[in-house]
Amino acid sequence: MKKSICLYFQVHQPTRLRLYRFFDIGKDSHYYDDFQNRTILRRIANKCYLPMNEMLLEQIKKHDGKLNIAFSISGSAIEQFDRYAPEVLDSFRALAQTGCVEFLCETYNHSLSALGNEEEFVNQVRKHKATIEKYFGVTPKTFRNTELIYSDHIGELVHKLGFRTMLTEGARHIMGWRSPNYVYNNPVKTGLKLLLRNYTLSDDIAFRFSDRGWNQWPLTAEKYHQWLRDAEGELVNLFMDYETFGEHQSADCGIFDFMKALTDQVVADKTLEFVTPSKAVKHKSVGEISVAEPISWADEERDLSAWLGNELQQDAFKKLYSIQEKLDVADDPALWADYGHLQESDHLYYMCTKFFSDGEVHQRFNPYGTPYEAFINYMNVLSDFMIRVDNAVAEK
């Protein structure tokens, strides 16, 4: 059997909050920075989504179905595409029509609901599934939780929702001596197959590609192709943010040419093949992976500390999910929509106070000057939102 290469891209754009002052609470309930959201979305569409989708479509047609890839596009991103760049949705639809692209299911708002409220988690997963069906005409078969967050319990929830394949991180502290380059399964729901990210090979592209201080720079398609051939195991899972291409790694560093040449070489290699996640599980599970505490693909720790590592984040998280029951009573579509956007994991990520090994990465993706500014702004918005929820409940 050929060694399988599973290439998966995460597509997400947060709904950024405007500067929301204490004196706005109770007076102005528009929370979003529409100008910044549109400006950033259009920029990334032109630098990443449109040119990369065009290149992948050409490569899929060129290789007559032998190039297979997967995307998970958050509902928050789809809403912004619909509003600011509908041509991006058209380009994803063109990819869907090839039959070579799998669209994965996740939480609609790229949220931490799997950790905060199971009822909300189920609601968001079902909403996202329906959205993928509506926009791309396909039903998701594979699940990818926000930031690859996974535990045995989350796996159980996902299995109950009907999914039999799930993506997560091949974190060193859960793998031990084992390799991520095989299929594993959940120890409780053995029918749930797990695909584990090879973070070394994934990050060679996502983070190190243009780093001239890296001892493997420059990374050529020939070199990387050989690394894939030499990797032990049956399956190499390359999972990364789609914004890697053209945004995080600029076009002038050669990232597009690299991917085009790499896909050419892998397709031509009779020992390798591209597969989607739902087809990757043709490889039999080699055993169970037990994950008692949640893991993620973020930072060196591969845990939840990027979002829940300090008291600011924990306070915001607890307050956010404390109002679920009141929202059920109010049952107001406008409130549910805002609640979804306030759950986007990015808001908590901006409050991270890591300043050591991963501080640079956190700073790069943070629109706030400090984590404390992010916390204050978010809590001002949340305070107004809670007032609205209380008023809606009182009117019932």
The reported pLDDT for the residue numbered 359 is: 41
User: Which pLDDT tens digit goes with each residue over 192-218?
Assistant: 999 999 999 999 999 999 999 999 999
Distance CA 183, CA 236 (A): 10
Angle between helices 75-84 and 118-136 (to 10 degrees): 40
Active site amino acids? 147
Chain centre to alpha carbon of residue 177: 27
User: Which pLDDT tens digit goes with each residue over 109-121?
Assistant: 999 999 999 999 9
> Buried (b) or exposed (e) across 177-198, using 16+ Cβ within 10 A?
eebbbbbbbbbebeebbbbbbb
The reported pLDDT for the residue numbered 396 is: 80
**Closest to 7 in 3D by CA, of 57, 60, 68, 50:** 68
Question: Does the pLDDT value for residue 133 go beyond 80?
Answer: yes
User: Following DSSP, what letter does each residue of 36-90 receive, concatenated?
Assistant: HHHHHHHHHIIIIIHHHHHHHHHHHHHTTT---EEEEE-HHHHHHHHHH-HHHHH
